[in-house]
Amino acid sequence: MINKSTKQACLEKILSSQEFSGSKIYQIYLTYLVNAADEGRSIKETTIAIDVFGKDAGFNPAEDTIVRSHTYTLRKKLESYYYNEGKNDRYRLIIPKGHYQVQFSPKSDKRITLANVRRLYPWLIVLICLLVIMFLWIRNRHVQNQLQTYRQIDMNDPIWKEFIQSDLPVMVVPGDHIFYTDYFEQYGRELTVRDYTINSLEELDSLRSVYPRNNIRRSDEPYFPYHSIWSIPPILNVLYSGNQKPIFRKSLDISPQILDVYNFIFLGSIKTLYTFKHTMANSHFNFGIAPHVVTYTYPDSNKKVSFSTNLHSQGPNEDLVLVLKLPGPAGNTIFIIASYHSLGAPEIADYLTSKSKRSELENLFYSKYGEIPVHFEILFRVTGIDKTAYNSDILICNKISSGP
């Protein structure tokens, strides 16, 4: 129990605070409530109106809200005091809602105040995020279970057997774009931006070297373009057909040190292919970002041919799609499906996982090589409206030697 002298000490500290020292009426009102509680007097709205605010015996609470409005403000002033000057006070003076009988409570007695709620904000956000993650995980499990009942594929499928029958773990790599944070004087604050010329961590380091005084740093938030995400479902159909449970990792988290540990399937934007640039040395393709140009150098010759595509629009569109099935550094396999726009990669991912759709490609391989080679390089041109494809053409289709 808190004694009378301690209560008076608490009251005097409150009354002399910045929050109350300039408010005579609230000093009087709070003192009145504390003394009434200490003396065990039962106080009502009418009593307070007469004793504190000078109303007469005819005071009608239904017509005059002076007591309720001052009590509301008094509670807010106490909350403000305990949020600032009184945050380390051992006891808290509380006016329970709906009552005028004040209470002194030890600080350890947790009560829901505006200050406490503010302190709980970060934890509430964490809780909400955990609930969202749990929901997405359950939803993903449901989708995975559904996908396993969809399209089945032959375990010896010539395009996908290295992944279906893989002894190595299979990693699916959605390509993610780099965002970085910097201070912009014209806005007077930091902004997180996407610069289309910055597509690898090396390029971000180069930018830092050009502007060493800027606090340029990579954003931790990933950004996956449509072509990364929309290409995943048909690939999962294939992997689940072989009872493969792939590992997912975004492209910016892939390092050269792990390129011999997994069988990889990269899906997404050509702009995010830099992680696999050394592996692409096995291919005869080179690509540019601005403008969008893919150049093919014919094996054993200096002959080159280039293909280009315009920027994405809301109307008719065309896209270039690189499809590379390459030998990895340790006998593993790296499969790449990458396009400039969101139109191409999802369409070709579906094309390659459908026996009926890819018949033209298979016939082309059989006519050239008498088989579907283990490793190959293909360039498609996909046309459509906005993000909906209606046609795909094979521009380049060649075998890649698996030897040194």
| 70 and 51 Cβ atoms separated by less than 8 Å | no
Question: What is the distance between the alpha carbons of residues 394 and 378, in angstroms, rounded to a whole number?
Answer: 7
Question: What is the distance between the alpha carbons of residues 14 and 32, in angstroms, rounded to a whole number?
Answer: 14
DSSP 62: T
Distances from the Cα of 23 to the Cα of 16, 74, 77, 97, 123, angstroms? 10, 10, 10, 22, 35
Which residues contact residue 351 at a Cβ distance below 8 angstroms, ignoring those fewer than 6 apart? 357, 358, 361, 380, 392
| 340 and 292 Cβ atoms separated by less than 8 Å | yes
Written as six digits, the tokens of 256 are: 């050269």
User: What is the full per-residue pLDDT of the chain (404 aa) written as tens digits?
Assistant: 678 888 888 889 998 998 888 889 989 988 998 888 888 888 888 888 888 888 888 888 888 888 888 889 988 989 999 888 888 888 898 888 888 888 888 875 455 455 555 667 778 888 888 898 998 888 888 776 665 555 567 888 999 999 998 889 999 999 998 888 988 888 888 888 888 888 888 888 998 899 888 888 888 777 888 889 999 999 998 998 888 899 999 888 888 788 888 999 999 999 888 878 777 888 999 988 888 999 999 988 889 999 998 876 667 889 999 999 999 888 899 999 999 999 999 999 999 999 889 999 999 999 999 999 999 999 999 999 877 889 999 999 999 986 54
Break the chain into its structural domains and give their ranges. Answer: 4-111, 151-176+222-399, 179-219
* Tally of CB atoms within 10 A around 91: 18
pLDDT of 107 reads 76
Question: What is the distance between the alpha carbons of residues 295 and 183, in angstroms, rounded to a whole number?
Answer: 38
Q: Give CA torsion, residues 137, 142, 145, 149, to 10 deg.
A: -150
Written as six digits, the tokens of 77 are: 């002033």
